């Protein structure tokens, strides 16, 4: 899963049109590099990030999703806002990546009313404050229990199991030790019976382990993606598609499928 952020950056403030063109070009590049799906996001959920309004998020992501209608890979919308979910699905998105795991009833209803897939992610706290004081008795048991409960809630609401993927939510209210325990024991998440998605690409835990700045975390991100695959991850959410695809080709040639 290739990451396409549709957020203004400090280098090019050329307005919505340029933002859309840049995002579409980036999306096409990731497809050419071998991405099997794309995750389009219009609001940063990094620790400490500022919220954006529904209208602003729609203005950012809808033109990009519409521009990818004929793309050869499925499009995921990274949002926790029900209004954005519904509009993105209407525009052709085939998956919703919800960092709130459909705990908002309106978000649950938006997915129930559709036929799209959904990623249910664990987090502790909210993006503004979640890294202040993460706390668990046993992070692996607690995250697994949460995801099991969210799968059950989604199924009870009418979302078939085949539409669900889960994610332990690396970096979302977790210390380095919590993240490492979750990655070490990722196989336990696969026992919940739905595909496991992981996002480790360029994350601060990799900075903590290597001392590298965010621009220099490609080798660490590859190692993390391979480690996750080895422990049963079905989908890896990454910025660096070409490098990750190459690494997975080598891994797959030895361990897995032929492609
Ligand atoms: C994740 C994510 C982010 C993740 C899923 C970043 C939106 C932070 N991380 N979604 N989103 N899993 N499912 O560094 O780990 O990409 S944002």
Instruction: Please list every protein residue whose CB sits less than 6 Å from any atom of ligand 1.
Output: 41, 45-46, 78, 97, 99, 119, 121, 167, 169-170, 197, 199, 203, 237
User: Residue 161's pLDDT is what?
Assistant: 98
- Each residue's pLDDT tens digit, 89-116: 999 999 999 999 999 999 999 999 999 9
- Each residue's pLDDT tens digit, 203-225: 999 999 999 999 999 999 999 99
**Between the CA of residue 248 and those of 182, 229, 230, 239, what are the distances in Å?**
21, 8, 10, 14
| Domain definitions of the chain by residue range | 2-254
CA 3 to ligand 1 centroid distance, Å: 9
User: Residue 15's pLDDT is what?
Assistant: 78
User: What is the rounded distance in angstroms from the CA atom of residue 48 to the CA atom of residue 24?
Assistant: 27
Class of domain 2-254 as given by CATH: alpha beta
| Choice among 33-37, 142-146, 195-199, 252-256 with the minimum mean pLDDT | 252-256
User: What is the rounded distance in angstroms from the CA atom of residue 45 to the CA atom of residue 167?
Assistant: 15
User: Residue 198's pLDDT is what?
Assistant: 98
Q: Is 217 a catalytic residue?
A: no
Q: Which helix (H) or strand (E) holds 83?
A: helix 82-90
3-class DSSP state of 2: strand
Mean pLDDT value of segment 17-34: 95
CA 6 to ligand 1 centroid distance, Å: 14
**Backbone CA torsion sign across 82, 88, 91, 95:** negative
């Amino acid at each position: 899963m290739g990451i396409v952020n549709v957020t203004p950056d400090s280098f090019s403030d050329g307005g919505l049109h340029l933002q859309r063109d840049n995002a579409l070009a980036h999306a096409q590049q990731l497809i050419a590099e071998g991405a099997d799906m794309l995750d389009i996001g219009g609001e940063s959920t990094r620790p400490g990030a500022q919220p954006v309004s529904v209208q602003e998020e729609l203005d950012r992501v809808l033109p990009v999703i519409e521009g990818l209608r004929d793309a050869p890979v499925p499009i995921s919308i990274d949002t926790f806002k029900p209004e954005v979910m519904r509009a993105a699905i209407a525009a052709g998105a085939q998956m919703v990546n919800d960092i709130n795991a459909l705990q908002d009833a309106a978000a649950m209803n938006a997915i129930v009313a559709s036929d799209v897939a959904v990623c249910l992610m664990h987090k502790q706290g909210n993006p503004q404050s979640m890294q202040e004081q993460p706390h668990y008795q046993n992070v692996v048991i607690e995250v697994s229990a949460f995801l099991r409960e969210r799968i059950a809630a989604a199924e009870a609401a009418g979302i078939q199991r085949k539409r669900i993927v889960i994610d332990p939510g690396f970096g979302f209210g977790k210390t380095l030790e919590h993240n490492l325990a979750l990655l070490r024991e990722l196989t336990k998440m696969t026992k919940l019976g739905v595909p496991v998605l992981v996002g480790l690409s360029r994350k601060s835990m990799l900075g903590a382990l290597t001392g590298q700045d965010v621009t220099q975390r490609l080798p660490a991100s590859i190692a993390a993606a391979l480690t996750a695959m080895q422990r049963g991850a079905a989908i890896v959410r990454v910025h660096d598609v070409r490098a990750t695809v190459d690494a997975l080709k080598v891994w797959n040639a030895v361990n897995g499928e032929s492609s």
